Amino acid sequence: MSANLVGDVTMRYVDLRPQSPADAVPVLLLHGFGTNFGMNWEAAGWPRFLGAEGLRVIGPDLRGHGASEKPLDDASYLPEHFVSDIIALLDELGVDEVDAVGYSMGSRLAWELALTRPGRVRRLVLGGFGPADAFEGTDLSAPGQGATPFDHVFRTVAGLPGNDPAALAACARGQAARPFSPKPPVTQPTLLVTGAADEIAAGAGELAAAVGGSHVEVPRRDHVNAVSSRVFKQSVVDFLTSQG
Amino acid sequence: MAEENVTFTLPDLGEGLVEATVLEWQVSVGDVVERNAPLVEVETTKSAVVIPSPQAGRIVELHAEEDQAVPVGDPLVTFAVQGRAPQAGIVGRVPTEEARPARRVRLKPPAD
């Protein structure tokens, strides 16, 4: 089902197979910048793949994205506000603990969730993510105008149906205001999965090593097309369903 | 029981896209697939998508290689589908039980 959580910012989410076995930890899927649950995860075949394992899937459209509300001020997009949205959603659903699976910006937020609310995250998967500054060299007063990798990403997503470029620009600035740091490290078991040709996720292997986690590289894939790969999905299922 | 070959073309993936590139087939010639099973992974200029099988059947031909760009509307895959003997009075193909939509248009008002 899909529903809306009404808070300071209204958030659309899906909750698939909420009746899954009580001892199974639900999977929280956090999409990347400029996409939404449907485009990042559903179209790429994730709910079906996880459903075949009987796993419950919780997938929000993050604030500023999809069918959720899109505030226009930068401060609304600080990582801690995304974390608050997610905690409010888990509380609403009565879910104590999830396995958090992110892609790109969603991984940055999954990390923030795992770091600041460690009791709510059992295992952590960071897809399409590395410790490098995603916004390096970008003039965030006018994202999409330059020639950096992020400018390119911004131009691609700004024109997608339903996206508001002004909200996305504010989101980029909010995210950039809290540069990612691998320290302090997360304490949960962590898996990183990146396309072998994903330049945006450079350094993922080092980050995995720094947190005592593992790193799977998907051959021949880049930042856009790694997300739908079977190798990625199978790695995640193996990681989430392993014992111990 | 006759088999009928049915070719599925690359559907319109929205966003005004005119083609998609095959990333990886999730089926092989000879596989028997269920409806909605993952068929092929494709990439557009904007995202990566897994296209589910539009029907149950046995795969008899894949029309594109991996890394090949396929225009929307061009053949993607051909299935051999279990056909039914023609039945008098019915024009066209009778959908299988599984493929029948959950809601159908009522052609006659209820006789109450």
Q: Is B15 on the interface with A (CB under 8 A)?
A: yes
Instruction: Compute the distance between CA of residue A212 and CA of residue B63 in angstroms, rounded to an integer.
Output: 44
Chain A to chain B Cβ contacts (< 8 Å): 49
Helix then strand then coil, in percent of chain B rounded to 5, is 0, 40, 60
Q: Tell me what the mean pLDDT of segment A31-46 comes to.
A: 96
Q: Cα–Cα distance between A34 and A169 in angstroms, integer?
A: 10
* Cβ atoms of A123 and A240 closer than 8 Å: yes
pLDDT computed for residue A23 by the predictor: 72
Q: Is B110 part of any domain?
A: no
Q: Give the whole-angstrom CA distance, residue A233 versus residue A217.
A: 12
Tell me which residue of A144, A199, A200, A194 sits closest to A172, measured CA to CA.
A144
- Tell me the per-residue pLDDT of A157-212, one tens digit each, with 9 for 90 and over: 998 889 999 999 999 999 999 999 999 999 999 999 999 999 999 999 999 999 99
pLDDT of amino acid A244: 66
Find out whether A28 and A66 touch, Cβ atoms under 8 Å: no
Q: Is residue B87 part of a domain?
A: no
DSSP string, A112-137: HHHHH-GGGEEEEEEES--SS-TTTT
Mutation for B interface: A230, A231, A237, most B CBs within 10 A: A230
CA distance B45 to B47: 6
Name residue, tokens 């909200």. A167
Which structural domains are found in chain A, ordered by start?
2-133+179-241 (3.40.50.1820)
Answer whether residue B109 is part of any domain.
no
Question: B45 touching A, CB under 8 A?
Answer: yes
Helices (H), A4-60: 37, 46-51
B20: domain CATH number is 2.40.50.100
Q: Give me the number of domains chain B comprises.
A: 1
Classify residue B69: in a domain, yes or no.
Answer: yes
Residue B110 phi/psi, 5° resolution? -60, 140
Sort out which chain A residues have CB atoms less than 8 A from B41's CB and list them: 45, 228-230
Q: Which residues of B touch A35 (CB under 8 A)?
A: 47
- Decide: residue A203, CB within 10 A, 0-12 exposed, 13-18 middle, 19+ buried: middle
Q: Chain centroid to CA A96: how far?
A: 19
| Residue at B73 is within a domain | yes
Q: List the beta bridge partners of residue A16.
A: A57
Instruction: Answer yes or no: is pLDDT of A21 > 60.
Output: yes
Tell me which residue has tokens 């001020």: A73
B102 assigned to some structural domain: no
Cα–Cα distance for residue pair B24/B47, rounded to 1 Å: 14
pLDDT at A234: 98
Q: Which of A48, A160, A224 sits opposite B43 (nearest CB)?
A: A224
Residue B15 domain-assigned? yes
Q: Give yes or no for B34 touching A (CB within 8 A).
A: no
Whether A58 and A28 have beta carbons less than 8 Å apart is answered as yes
Q: At A96, which amino acid appears?
A: D
User: What is the model's pLDDT at position B83?
Assistant: 73
Q: Is A106 helix (H, G, I), strand (E, B) or coil?
A: helix
Interval A66-118: pLDDT, tens: 999 999 999 999 999 999 999 999 999 999 999 999 999 999 999 999 999 99
Provide the residue range defining the domain that includes B13.
3-82
Buried-state track B39-66, b at ≥16 Cβ within 10 A, e below 16 = bbbbbbebbbbbbbbbbbbbbbebbbee
Report the share of chain B in percent with pLDDT over 90. Answer: 60
Report if pTM > 0.90: no
Most A-contacting residue of B46, B51, B53, B67 (CB-CB within 10 A), to test interface: B46
Does B39 fall in a domain?
Answer: yes
Mean of the pLDDT values across residues A133-156? Answer: 94
Tell me the per-residue pLDDT of B46-89, one tens digit each, with 9 for 90 and over: 789 999 999 999 999 999 999 999 999 999 999 999 875 454 44
User: Is residue A43 within 8 angstroms of chain B, CB to CB?
Assistant: yes
Q: Kindly state whether B68 is in contact with chain A, defined as any CB-CB distance less than 8 angstroms.
A: no
DSSP state of A8: S
